[in-house]
Chain A
Amino acid sequence: MRREPPQRLADYGPLFFPAGMLTLFFVVPFATMIAVSFFQRQQGGFYTPDFVFDNYARFLSLFFGKVLGFSLFLAIAVAIACVVLGIPFTYLLARSKRRIQVIWLVALLCILSLSEVMIGFAWSTLFSRTAGLTNLLVWLGLVSQPQALTPSFGAVMTAMTYQAFPYTVLVIYPALVRLDPTLTEAARTLGASPIKAFFTVVVPALRNTILATLIMVFIFALGSYLLPQLLGRPQHWTLSVLITDQAVYQSNMPFAAAMAVFLVLVSLALVGLALYAGRQKEAK
């Protein structure tokens, strides 16, 4: 089929609907948020239109810097955990029998149907002292007393990885199925042990998929604000938690908006950096 560039205004017609939706539901709210981030807050009231940098200035403190740093660290850690667990899992899944694949994929899709609240409370029960997993260890004789595993960083990490894991598998699965299975066999005939073949052939061949998965889970985890509150201590709270706190409980819309804009910019910068690094390596 020959593709011609659009000639008349009507040729752009099919684009109007998505463009309109995007403007209405993304550009307008986001522009409003950017505008609000420069507004002046009224003590005890709401806010008045203005153009001040107070909100951003307040943000540049050690406290908020630490929270931002922790949020990014948590999101990166969850992304890496998902990929490190997801690739071997999906590799084995893609090579198992059709029936087993279907059962696993249905189970993973079931996790997607659970709300964040349910996941949070389920894990807080599992990590609790009275009804948690440590009771199982006591029964097995591995520990002497049941312990509470929550609130802790590990509990936050576990629940967030659990939540993002199905997405990870669903992104990696098609790429792994399409990967020619004779590639690993070829590596083996060339002298690579199965594990070496996995790391020198399967992982590098999936580099773009891995990068895409990392970025997706990173952004997904960055927006999480319920699980850190349910399963973590105050020092494990992410920037999203503080934004909610400022917007909903402190009625400080301008400051919440400023933090949100900042978070978007930082995450965009990190994604850009990851894509740039990926491109550099490809060009080599």
Chain B
Amino acid sequence: MSGLNINHVTKQFGTFTAVNDVSLSVPEGTFVCLLGPSGCGKTTLMRMIAGLDLPTQGSIELAGSDITGVPTHKRELGMVFQSLALFPHLTVGENIAYSLRIRGVAKDVQKKRVEELLGMIHLPGFADRSVNKLSGGQRQRVAIARALAISPKLFLLDEPLSALDAKLREAMQVELRQLQQRLGITTIVVTHDQREAMTMADTVVVMNKGEIRQAAPPVEIYRRPADSFVADFIGQTNLIPVEADSAGRAVILGQTIEAFSMPAGTTKGVLSVRPEDVQITAPGNGAIPATVTFIRDLGGAIETFVEAGGTQVIAVSSPRSRPEVSVGQQVGIRLDPATSVVLAR
């Protein structure tokens, strides 16, 4: 099949295993985000896809052919580096045309392509400017245009937006996603920013300690995390210990709740419930008893911290459905099985 296939790839630096037996299939034209904390192996995995590092074991296939040993410059890919790595001695136009010049494309064809790309990144007429005089966002766009000049089979971006301020970053995320959809190019982005991953990706690949923990569409990652690491890493979550009683029913915060079922064959686990899915009600009537300990009013959202059975639970509500509570008050919390998952510990 076309697209990218990573088969049981392992990378070791001395005794340290950066990437451990990772397999991943990226269908043609999809947008994949490699997401994880720093040191989780996501950048190493991308460098192996680019050919800048060689895997210790395993193979990588691109469009049906094995590229594991193919040198970087023969892989026909486009890559945007975290530092952008724009060539300081070249103008914007020369930077974008670099890959064409290396391939010996005719000057007038180069010029036409540069103009086309500058139009695509909304910087028409910038060809003769020095790259050292551009703003952060403009440099970003030039780096993207340079990587796309040869219409590569694979587009790689290593933390591409980390140098931009928050507002510009959000705008660039949307722009990058729209660009990818228009071109239909297979794209892989490395990021540690989960909002970035949620905004752009068809598939989010969550990595930790050199291994893939979950690879799924963003909403599924958020709603149905595979384990407590993913649940905790993506968005905010409450992780509440769960135990099974002798009859196999789930006991949560000292309350037996029949609606929850334990994962098969386990007696202990954690319940992951998003703060917006925690409902604060009057005590009693089957609700889990809790005490309000702190209220954080952020204007757009209100976070209510409650303590139940020795565990802190955070509930988020919008100002409209603000619970009428105050610190120290006895309340009840309700958890909906449809919006929470019990994960093996």
Per-residue 0/1 for B34-72: is the Cβ within 8 Å of any A Cβ (1 yes, 0 no)?
Answer: 000000000000000011100000000000000000011
| Interface status of A76 (Cβ within 8 A of chain B) | no
**If A180-B83, A200-B102 touch, does A188 touch B72 (CB 8 Å cutoff)?**
yes
Q: Tell which of A189, A197, A201, A207 touches B50, judged by Cβ atoms closer than 8 Å.
A: A189
Interface size class, chain A: 20 to 34
Q: Which residues of chain A are near B87, meaning CB under 8 Å?
A: 183, 186-187, 201, 204-205
CB distance from B320 to the nearest CB of A (A): 49
Per-residue 0/1 for A228-263: is the Cβ within 8 Å of any B Cβ (1 yes, 0 no)?
Answer: 000000000000000000000000000000000000
**If A189-B50, A190-B146, A207-B89 touch, does A196 touch B102 (CB 8 Å cutoff)?**
yes
Which residues of B, 89-113, contact A by the 8 Å Cβ criterion?
89-90, 98-99, 102-103
| Interface status of B342 (Cβ within 8 A of chain A) | no
Residue of B nearest to A188 (CB): B72
Residue of A nearest to B158 (CB): A182
| Interface status of B73 (Cβ within 8 A of chain A) | yes
A205 touches B52 (CB 8 A): no
| Interface status of B338 (Cβ within 8 A of chain A) | no
Which residues of B, 116-167, contact A by the 8 Å Cβ criterion?
146-147, 149-150, 156
CB distance from A281 to the nearest CB of B (A): 10
Per-residue 0/1 for A199-222: is the Cβ within 8 Å of any B Cβ (1 yes, 0 no)?
Answer: 011001101000000000000000
| Interface status of A192 (Cβ within 8 A of chain B) | yes
B81 touches A186 (CB 8 A): yes
Residue of B nearest to A203 (CB): B89
Query: Which of A182, A189, A204 neighbours the largest number of chain B CB atoms within 10 Å of its CB?
Result: A189
**If A189-B72, A193-B71 touch, does A182 touch B81 (CB 8 Å cutoff)?**
yes
Q: Tell which of A194, A200, A205 touches B88, judged by Cβ atoms closer than 8 Å.
A: A205
A188–B90 CA distance with the chains assembled, in angstroms: 16
Q: Which residues of chain B are near A207, meaning CB under 8 Å?
A: 89
**If A190-B146, A191-B103 touch, does A183 touch B85 (CB 8 Å cutoff)?**
yes
**If A186-B81, A190-B146, A192-B102 touch, does A204 touch B89 (CB 8 Å cutoff)?**
yes
**If A185-B52, A186-B81 touch, does A193 touch B73 (CB 8 Å cutoff)?**
yes
A189–B78 CA distance with the chains assembled, in angstroms: 6
Q: Which residues of chain B are near A182, meaning CB under 8 Å?
A: 81-83, 85
CB distance from A209 to the nearest CB of B (A): 12
**If A180-B83, A182-B83 touch, does A190 touch B89 (CB 8 Å cutoff)?**
no
| Interface status of B278 (Cβ within 8 A of chain A) | no
On B, residues with C-beta under 8 Å from A are 50-52, 71-79, 81-83, 85, 87-90, 98-99, 102-103, 146-147, 149-150, 156
**What are 26 A-B contacts defined by CB distance under 8 Å?**
A182-B82, A182-B83, A183-B85, A185-B81, A185-B85, A186-B79, A186-B87, A187-B98, A187-B102, A188-B73, A189-B52, A189-B75, A189-B147, A189-B156, A190-B73, A190-B99, A190-B102, A190-B146, A191-B76, A191-B99, A191-B103, A192-B102, A193-B73, A196-B73, A204-B87, A204-B90
Task: List 11 extra interface pairs beyond A188-B73, A190-B78, CB under 8 A.
Answer: A182-B82, A182-B83, A186-B79, A186-B87, A189-B73, A189-B75, A190-B102, A190-B146, A192-B102, A193-B73, A205-B88
